[in-house]
Amino acid sequence: MAIISRKGSALVREIHKKQSANKSRQRFWELAGSKFGEILGVEKTFEQIDVDTTVVGKHGEVDFKEDSKFAQHLKKVEAVSNFAKSKTIDQQRQYLPIYSVRDELLQVIRENQVIIVVGETGSGKTTQLTQYLHEDGYTANGIVGCTQPRRVAAMSVAKRVSEEMETELGDKVGYAIRFEDVTGPNTIIKYMTDGSTSVVIVMDEAHERSLDTDVLFGILKKVVAQRRDFKLIVTSATLNAQKFSNFFGSVPIFHIPGRTFPVNFLYSKTPCEDYVEAAVKQAMTVHITSPPGDILIFMTGQDEIEATCYALAERMEQLISSTKEGVPKLLILPIYSLLPTDLQAKIFQKAEDGARKCIVATNIAETSLTVDGILYVIDTGYCKMKVYNPRMGMDALQVFPISRAAADQRAGRAGRTGPGTCYRLYTESAYLNEMLQSPVPEIQRTNLSNVGFAAQISSN
């Protein structure tokens, strides 16, 4: 797998060659009129923006900063899966594995200042734990904060929790990320990316071991020692939680049993030399032959995502033109960090009747992100990681095989709202023998000067 990750995808190179043969690319925000814009359904160019449909500032100008907020584009999520359609929100909450141990979990939290909570993907840790703390009275004296490793996770989870609590996003439940704060004076539950007003901090997805999360561990360890009224809850989706427990002085570990729905695993018989091409073929096979259900494909970055979207659109066009029978519509939706927020929000919207969504994502879709209706996950087995290059004197993104913990996280996306299938485009032997058990912590492979400067500034 390491050799394949260095070679890259032949399909991506072929599509790049096609693009370079065409006219020079438009401005990155100018999607209208381009092939990628057609795939995304972007019709208006920058000059055709209708001021009446955008957020307008004090002097009548278009407020691009306000209009770019994720909250402006998040609509009320419509039920897609049979599970969501057949049950009320309260019934869905009660079906989650964490609900069966709610009282025991709250009792452990009352008795300890720091605890580690371990539960599989889909157990309800992210959405329910903050609400349980609110219901148990912890928000009477401050805010319950929950850290998220990724922006889209903080935003989408806050939206879901606000719907479960029957409140507007930004009122009792809000989120705060870089350049965007959707909270108010009434906010009692706050999701944020890695406060003085917080009485409880929930560090979600701690197993990812991002640089900011590890630094926050060190800071909160000091806060715990100085504030006896402060509680820290660390959640992890993997069983390797003993390290976190030892770091805080052998604090208790609470296990949430079970998974919401079963997931069937299908491995590749031989290594895939071109995992992008293999993913496109697998997605088309699922779309043509499998029962209804949305597809989630994991790629390493923007270039591979765009190439995958192009290839899927081309093959759908070829299929439609070559067959007399009607072909179900495939709605292709990319998601990565640099994609405009209104286009990111599309993945949460219900597809039209008779259509199937195919979401092509980076590893931002691995954690704390539930898109109702996903029953098929296609895992390429690779991701991009930031690694310090001593020759260049700077960090660089390189493609590496994912860890077994990350592979399990990806598979869990298929079992959130119904029994699902995970297509792993690598062999079972590669999963067992080539992949690390957990990812190398970012603090061990990146330049620490930036976080050191930030810590120095905040301490002054």
What's the N-to-C CA distance of the chain in angstroms?
46
52 is written with which tokens?
A: 């009446």
Q: Which of 273, 249, 216, 255 lies closest to 118 in space, CA to CA?
A: 255
Residues 451 and 439 in one domain: yes
**In the prediction, which pLDDT does 64 show?**
43
Residue 325 lies in a domain: yes
- Residues 369-387 have a mean pLDDT of 91
The whole-model pTM stands at 0.81
- Give CA separation, 343 vs 233, 337, 378, 439, in Å: 33, 11, 21, 30
Residues 236 and 293 in one domain: no
Q: Average pLDDT of the chain?
A: 84
Give the angle 241-245-247 at the CA atoms, nearest 5°. Answer: 115
- Residues 168-191 have a mean pLDDT of 92
* Pairwise pLDDT comparison (374 vs 55), residue with the higher score: 374
Distance CA 238, CA 437 (A): 10
**Structural domain containing residue 135:** 97-256
Positive or negative, the Cα torsion across 258, 261, 262, 268? Answer: negative
Is residue 129 within 8 Å of 286, Cβ to Cβ? Answer: no
Please identify, among 204, 223, 256, the residue that sits at the C-terminal boundary of a domain. 256
Residues 272 and 158 in one domain: no
Give the angle 417-422-426 at the CA atoms, nearest 5°. Answer: 160
Residues 277 and 245 in one domain: no
Residues 363 and 443 in one domain: yes
* Pairwise pLDDT comparison (240 vs 308), residue with the higher score: 308
Residue 305 lies in a domain: yes
Q: What CATH number is attached to the domain comprising 105?
A: 3.40.50.300
Number of domains in the chain: 2
H-only helix segments in 140-271: 151-164, 211-226, 242-247
Residues 335 and 214 in one domain: no
**In the prediction, which pLDDT does 106 show?**
96
Q: Which of 278, 310, 291 lies closest to 16 in space, CA to CA?
A: 310
Residue 184 DSSP code: -
Is residue 383 within 8 Å of 400, Cβ to Cβ? Answer: yes
Residue 317 lies in a domain: yes
Output b/e per residue, 304-339; b: 16+ Cβ within 10 A: bbbbbbbbbbebbeeeeeeeeeeeeebbbbbbbeeb
Quick: pLDDT tens for 6-54. Answer: 777 888 888 777 766 654 444 444 555 566 666 666 655 544 544 444 4
